[in-house]
Structure 1
Amino acid sequence: MSQRYAPGVGVVLAGVALAASLQPWPDAGTLLSAVPIAGGAASLTPIAGVLSAVALAAFLASRHGALDRARGNVAAGVPSVGVALYAAVVAVGALDAGDAVGLWVLLAMAAGAGAGLAALVDGLELPVSGVLDRLQLTVSGAILGVLGLLALSLWNTLLVSLFTAVAGSPGPTARILISTSATGLGGVTIVLGYLNSTDRGLDFIDAGWLDTRDVVYGVGGFVVLLLVLLVSSELIELFGLSSAEHSIVQTARANDPRVLLWLLVPSVLLVGPGEELLYRNVIQKSLYDSFSRTGAVLVTSVLFALVHFPAYATSGVLDAIGSLLLILPLSIVLGVVFARTENVVVPALIHGAFNAFQYAALYVALTSGIELV
């Protein structure tokens, strides 16, 4: 920040994180037991307490000139992020064990993340106005993503009602087809609403015929997605994590795998275009106003991954998080392709083809008795 407000903000947030670590935390997910202090009136969660204390000391040292800007922000930012990550691990462990997370864990998570952001802002010497602009655009993008989920739900309800009126209550196969179609229609609906509310015309949509460069990026992007999926899956297994099955996969496994073949066409014609129009051509493109292209890709990819959480949450919080760690790098690839080609048709085709490929491979695996990993 221009007048170095960030260290002062960091002091407050690190102090809040330290205070939160002095309160009771759930046992599930906590690596070390709380240590009673102050005559038993308070307790210290050791990892969170030590990290937040180090961050607080570093922010104070930076603010009063004992540490220079670069060293102070590193010394304060790293443990601040550590507090947020540790609190997130505890929260996930508590949820997975069926325990209550509690206010103090959430407060430490938020304060640690905020303190880490303050250190980053100060390290990059960003002006206050620039930070607020980026925050506003990020929140706007998150709202558009949530609206996309709501539009999906509304389309799903409408299509189910129409199907019921014509052919009776839909079975599992019909519901999957309806849900998949609703995904694409929901994205398109929000895009059209965005264009109308911001007085933008259809020329805001960066869509055109593919040239040779687009084809190269399309084929290359598809291959890179496959490689990223394989590498990410191996890394998740290496670190002892697991990923959840998408609700579509669960339904196909429990009922008729042939539904996966029915999903090939809507994946290419509806899901790919609908989601890429919303996330790349609207959300990512709107972030260009204040973010660099790289920053816009990263922020959009995080939002894209988070919005997919409900589809995997049925298998448990830990498994769902593992799945989001797979989605994030895939979304980054799609974002980079759009940033380079400035033609949403390219990532839309990659996205749709990638989904279709996965469905086809899954169908072969289920019908041939191959065990999926």
Structure 2
Amino acid sequence: MALGKRRKSGISPNAALLFQGGIGVVGLVAILVFGIPVLLIGPGLWPSLIYGTLGAVATYGLLLLLTRVPRLFPENLERQMQGLYDFASSYSPLVLVLLSLLAGVGEELLFRGAIQGWLMAHTDPVTAVLAASVLFGLVHYVSFTYFLVATGLGLILGAAYALSESLALVMIWHAVYDMIALYCLLRFPRWFGVKIVEPAANRPHE
């Protein structure tokens, strides 16, 4: 993973990992306290691994295609991608992989396992998927366009969980998606309109 000149982030790797892991703890506690039924592996571990990985690749490919459609989104994502690049480029590849894994496990425990699971037990599957996805988008809100993208991803993951009955599948899907997204952003920043400033020259280039 080519990271170029490493920037210094205001958040230490340990703090970032602890925060991301804490999301999973909240989700797990909610599941245990409220007795929320969790559909863990559905068709089995290997199918969950295979379909989760394929789903992540397909989802990211679809997102890339959609971002190339003129005026599809109300605003472009370049500012958010620049901020994400600056954040991600301050960490080592190992930390980014760990963050992706923790996000996949932790956020899916909370949003699909706890929130969507609770809603499915008290409402209907469509309402549960929609509500959990909107909450997922709101938590990731940095702009309206980013909210739409995150909500869309939440809808895909929520539907995949409801149909596959495998929380493991969506955890893998989410984690692999994040890894692909971070790798592509750091390896091919010009795809996303990211400007890289070399400290020595103090000049942006692609």
Per the TM superposition, whether the score is higher than 0.5 is yes
TM-score bin (small chain): 0.7 to 0.9
The answer to whether the Cα contact below 8 Å between 1:267 and 1:353 also exists between their aligned partners in 2 is no
* Aligned residue pair count: 183
The answer to whether the Cα contact below 8 Å between 2:38 and 2:117 also exists between their aligned partners in 1 is no
Q: How does 1:312-351 map to 2 (within 5 A)?
A: 312=142, 320-351=143-174
TM-aligned CA deviation for residue 180 of structure 1: 3.5
Structure 1: which 4+ aligned runs deviate by more than 6 Å? none
| Equivalent of residue 298 in structure 1, options 117, 124, 130 | 130
Aligned to 2:117: 285
| TM-score relative to the length of structure 1 | 0.44
TM-aligned CA deviation for residue 231 of structure 1: 4.1
Q: How does 1:81-100 map to 2 (within 5 A)?
A: none
CA gap 1:240/1:194 in 2 versus in 1, 3 angstroms: closer
| TM-score relative to the length of structure 2 | 0.74
Instruction: Select the structure of larger CA radius of gyration.
Output: 1
Amino acid paired to 2:161: F
The answer to whether the Cα contact below 8 Å between 2:23 and 2:106 also exists between their aligned partners in 1 is yes
TM-aligned CA deviation for residue 263 of structure 1: 3.7
The answer to whether the Cα contact below 8 Å between 2:39 and 2:165 also exists between their aligned partners in 1 is yes
Question: In 1, distance between residues paired with 2:150 and 2:116?
Answer: 16
Which is helix-richer, 1 or 2?
1
CA gap 1:371/1:285 in 2 versus in 1, 3 angstroms: closer
TM-aligned CA deviation for residue 297 of structure 1: 1.0
Instruction: Give the alignment's Cα RMSD to 1 decimal.
Output: 2.8
Q: Which has the higher contact order (CA 8 A, sep 6+)?
A: 2
TM-aligned CA deviation for residue 281 of structure 1: 0.7
String of CA shifts for 1:181-208, please: whole Å, max 9, x gaps: 134322222123314432x38xx44334
Question: In 1, distance between residues paired with 2:23 and 2:55?
Answer: 22
Q: Which runs of 5+ in 1 are unaligned?
A: 1-170, 313-319
Q: Secondary structure at the match of 1:242?
A: coil
Identity of aligned residues (%): 24
Aligned to 1:361: 184
Question: In 2, distance between residues paired with 1:226 and 1:248?
Answer: 16
Q: Secondary structure at the match of 2:45?
A: coil
Q: How does 1:117-156 map to 2 (within 5 A)?
A: none
Indicate yes or no: 2:101 matched with 1:265: no
Indicate yes or no: 2:22 matched with 1:186: yes
